[in-house]
Each structure stands twice: as C-alpha cells, then as structure tokens.
Amino acid sequence: MIWPNNKDFAFTIVDDTELATVTNVKPIYDFLLKQNIFTTKTVWVYPSRDHFSGQCLLDDEYYQFILDIKSHGVEIALHGVGSGDFNRNEIKEGIEIFKNKIGNYPNLHTNHAHNPYNIYWGNTSYHCILRLYSWLRNSKENFYGEDSESKYFWGDLVKNHIKYIRGKTCKYINTLAFDPKMPYREKNKKYSNFWFSSSDGENINTFNKLICKENIDKLIIERGLCIVYTHFGDGFVIDNKLNNDFQKNIQYLSQQNGWFAPASQILDYLLINKTNEYTSGFYLKKFEINIIKSGLKKRFIKK
C-alpha cells in the first residue's frame, strides 16, 4: 500500500466511550497528542439509561474536554446518542445536539452493546449462513435501527449524516490485510453508507498484546493499516497513572515512519483509491465462514 508522504504504514485508534470519564481518559489523550498520534474518540450525547457507565456531552466538564482534544486534531464520532433505550425523536434530537456542540454531524458511528436502536447489528447484520449459525447458538437478540416501522428507526438519519460505520473485528495487527476492500457499501443495507473493520484492542491487556513491538514491526513490513478498537476507560489509567507497557508500546510506535491520523481521514484516503464502492456477496460470505470456523474451533478444540 502506498501511504501519503512516503509513510510506511498507517495507524489509528477508535476509542469506545463506554466507561470514559475525564479522569480516566484525559491522561491517555494528553500522552497520545504529545506523541503526535491523532485518533478518533466516540461520545454519547445523553447520560446512560442502563448499567453501562461513562460521561456524555451534557456533562459540561466532559464536553469541555472533548472540545479541547478536538481542537488538537482528535476526531469526535458517535457511539449512539446514549447507552440504553432511546426512541427516534430522542435520537434525532441527539444528533442535532451533537452537531450544535461539536460543530458538525458525526462522520463515523459505532454501535453499542445491546442498544435496541443499533443499526445492522447482531443477527440483522449477517447474511443467511451466519444468521442461521447465530440463531442455532441461541443468539436471538434483535436490533431495529434500520426497521422503518420501529420506534427505534433512524436509518434515514444515518444515511444522511454518517459516512462510516464499524462492522467486523479481527485479532490481527494489520486490519487492512483482514479486510482489504474496506471501506465499502453493502447492497442489502440501504440505510448505511460505508463499512470498515477494526482490530481488537478491547481493554488494556488486549491492546498491549496487539500493539507490541513484534506486531508493530510486522505492520511496517506489510505496509499495512491498523485501526484499533478499544475502551480507553477500561484499565489504561489506574490511580491517575498511565499503564507503563502502553506508554512503551506507543512511544516505540510513534518513533516509526507511520501515518497517525483519525479514522475518517484514513478511510477517506482508502476510498478515493477505490474503483468500486460496493463489495460482493461472495466476499462477505468468506467472512462468515471464517467466523463460524473460529467459533467452532473455540467450542470444540481444547487448548
């Protein structure tokens, strides 16, 4: 892959706002910005309505923190308008609040856990093979963001305002090698625009395992792209101290010849170099088969 300004690879982070407070994530952003690593942070507009915790844009302290990191180059994205049950009117109002507070509509969205208004999420995001497999494993939770008859419908708002939605997740450092056609449109998902994949850095342990020196060197050799999806609120800062291994890994990463830009900027670059915005059903079914194989291996093969 040819990256801008003769960079050897591209790297970014999409930070899930779950658990996030000014106290437990500000030290991380201060550190990343000092290393000239620019990332994407998702936010909620409203306070949580279920057991998930984290501050939101209606908290003035948190809002001022968000404005500050945005002014220094961090992309602000959406993780739904809030955690829990929100109807269409609340979602519509929440997106307008986001625009008024941030200065633009969210360019990127990530679905959150069990929110009923998640769009193309859970079984509804799958094609026939994986949908049947998921049903047989008793995964019957439904989501309604794309259902125009539902009180949770906001597909038209997604189509009008949100360019990128996170889809699949892998365990590999090179996200682009896992999903070389991203970002892409899916023909059967008319209320979405472009989908992208991410690499799993869910918490401090998985993040450090993913972003170790060996994997960074591998990413450089492959001239790849890593989009890490993580929760900075989950163990990165303990007693106001930033995890040492995280600091070492990021410092090593920042010393390499990488392109460290927010997710949407990198995805925009990939998009302008594409000849076909749509992906094929065959390509998507390959993902499903690999997911099924991985699930069966975990279930039946003892390590």
Asked whether the predicted pLDDT for residue 273 surpasses 90, the reply is: no
Q: Which two tokens stand for residue 110?
A: 């990530």
Rounded-to-integer distance, Cα 196 and Cα 268, Å: 11
For the CA atoms of 127, 129, 133, 134, what is the dihedral angle to 10 degrees?
0
Rounded-to-integer distance, Cα 113 and Cα 118, Å: 8
Walk me through the domains of the chain, giving residue ranges and CATH numbers. Answer: 10-208+223-235+257-300 (3.20.20)
CB-facing half-sphere around the CA of 110: CA atoms within 13 A: 28
Total Cβ atoms within 10 A of residue 98: 22
**CA separation (Å) from 51 to 22, 43, 104, 107, 229?**
19, 17, 29, 27, 21
- pLDDT tier for residue 293 given thresholds of 50, 70 and 90: low
Q: Are 133 and 295 in contact (CB under 8 A)?
A: yes
Q: Are 190 and 196 in contact (CB under 8 A)?
A: no
Residue showing tokens 């039946």: 300
Which residues have CB under 8 Å from 252's CB, separation 6+?
A: 213, 216
Query: Would you state the pLDDT for residue 126?
Result: 53
Residue with the bigger pLDDT between 134 and 147: it is: 147
- pLDDT tier for residue 124 given thresholds of 50, 70 and 90: low
Query: Would you state the pLDDT for residue 292?
Result: 62
Asked whether the predicted pLDDT for residue 133 surpasses 50, the reply is: no
Amino acid at 181: K
Residues 152-174 have a mean pLDDT of 96
- pLDDT tier for residue 294 given thresholds of 50, 70 and 90: low
12 DSSP β-pair partners:
227
DSSP 8-state symbol, 39: -
Q: Is the pTM of this model over 0.85?
A: yes
Tell me how many degrees the CA angle 98-104-109 measures, rounded to the nearest 5: 65
Rounded-to-integer distance, Cα 27 and Cα 252, Å: 18
Asked whether the predicted pLDDT for residue 136 surpasses 60, the reply is: no
Q: Are 200 and 210 in contact (CB under 8 A)?
A: yes
- pLDDT tier for residue 284 given thresholds of 50, 70 and 90: confident
Residues 258-274 have a mean pLDDT of 96
- Please, what is the average pLDDT of the chain? 91
Tell me how many degrees the CA angle 284-290-41 measures, rounded to the nearest 5: 70
Residue showing tokens 């302008």: 272
Indicate the range of 10-19, 194-203, 258-267, 292-301 predicted with least confidence.
292-301
Amino acid at 204: I
Which residues have CB under 8 Å from 92's CB, separation 6+?
A: 154, 157
pLDDT tens, 183-227?
999 999 999 999 999 999 999 999 999 999 999 999 999 999 999
Asked whether the predicted pLDDT for residue 3 surpasses 70, the reply is: yes
